[in-house]
Amino acid sequence: MKAWLSIPAFAAVLMAGQANAALDQAAALDLAKKSGCLACHSIEKKIVGPAWKDVGAKYKGDASMKDKLVAKVKAGGKGVWGQVPMPPYSPRVPDENIAQLVEFVLSL
């Protein structure tokens, strides 16, 4: 009987892990398009803002950057990648979506 009780708990843990998994490229690009990111960014090349692969490479291995980049996307800013400012995306883009996109960028 006790084994049956652990199945729902295992399923809940499995589903939570899937919800927190990084977006695949197609899902990330879809979310980025809906959020307005692709007007200035692409994965492979600089448009107005930096290429996301360059951002991922610059911060590779720096675990502290996720929170910093989420804050930067939410508030906007300039100076790190040039003088063209990035507008703030919060509250227009939900914080959860910003975090997912930052995770994707850092995975590149």
**Per-residue pLDDT averaged across 40-62, rounded?**
96
What's the whole-model pTM score? 0.77
pLDDT at residue 6, as a whole number: 47
> Average of pLDDT values for 24-41?
95
Place of tokens 């950057």: 65
Residue 28 in this model has a pLDDT that exceeds 90: yes
For the chain, domain boundaries: 24-107
Euclidean distance between CA atoms 50 and 79, whole angstroms: 12
- The DSSP letter of residue 101 is H
Can you state the percent helix, strand and coil of the chain, rounding each to 5?
60, 0, 40
CA-to-CA distance for 74 and 18, rounded, in angstroms?
25
pLDDT at 105 over 70: yes
pLDDT-based confidence at residue 18 (cuts at 50, 70, 90): very low
Domain at 24-107, CATH from 3.90.1570.10, 1.10.760.10, 1.10.260.40, 3.40.50.1220:
1.10.760.10
